[in-house]
């Protein structure tokens, strides 16, 4: 009896052993990693937001020639205008991005972005983009 137990144990062990080894490494998929919804850096998020939300009015390069701008009165200004750049503070730019035009006595066509209130680093990156058009 004793030896047959040992034999069974040996047989089980032999059966089990291969499956106890780590699985052979499968080749990883050549697909690029999945795009995450939120970009990694505030700068990247700001660029994505500008292209997705702002460019329709302000134009991809901030000139104010977006497809939605033609019908607006007043039209969004040219962010490349040095006189305007010198006339506004960083805080004013960041504020209108958060609260929209109407809240600061400007055109209500400039929409508020309440979702960015909790993302000051993204608002700062948008302001930096606008300053960069100068």
The residues binding ligand HEC (CB under 6 A) are 49, 53-54, 56-58, 68, 72, 74, 76-77, 88, 93, 96-97, 101, 106-107, 109-111, 113, 126, 130
CA distance 121 to 45: 10
- Cα–Cα distance, 66 to 126 (Å, whole number): 17
CB of 66 to ligand HEC, least distance (A): 7
Q: How far is the CB of 35 from ligand HEC (least distance, A)?
A: 21
Least Å from the CB of residue 88 to ligand HEC: 5
Residue 55's nearest CA partner among 66, 47, 39 is 66
Q: How far is the CB of 64 from ligand HEC (least distance, A)?
A: 8
Q: Element (H or E) spanning 99, and its range?
A: helix 90-99
When the beta carbons of 39 and 107 are compared against ligand HEC, the nearer one is: 107
* Cβ closest to ligand HEC, residue 7 vs residue 67: 67
CB 104 within 8 A of CB 96: yes
Q: Indicate the residue among 12 and 106 with the shorter CB distance to ligand HEC.
A: 106
Q: Do the Cβ atoms of 125 and 43 come closer than 8 Å?
A: yes
Long-range contacts of range 34-40, CB-CB < 8 Å, 24 or more positions apart?
A: none
If the CB atoms of residues 15 and 132 are measured against ligand HEC, the closer one turns out to be 132
């Amino acid at each position: 009896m004793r030896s047959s137990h040992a034999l069974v144990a040996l047989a089980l062990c032999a059966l089990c052993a291969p499956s106890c080894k780590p699985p052979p490494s499968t080749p990883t998929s050549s697909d690029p990693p999945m795009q995450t919804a939120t970009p990694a850096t505030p700068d990247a998020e700001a660029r994505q937001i500008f292209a997705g939300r702002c460019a329709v009015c302000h134009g991809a390069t901030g000139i104010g020639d977006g497809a939605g701008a033609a019908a607006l009165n007043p039209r969004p200004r040219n962010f490349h205008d040095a006189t305007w750049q010198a006339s506004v503070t960083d805080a004013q730019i960041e504020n209108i991005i958060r609260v929209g035009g109407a809240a600061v006595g400007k055109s209500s066509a400039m929409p508020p972005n309440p979702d960015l209130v909790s993302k000051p680093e993204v608002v700062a990156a948008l302001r930096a983009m606008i300053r960069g058009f100068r």
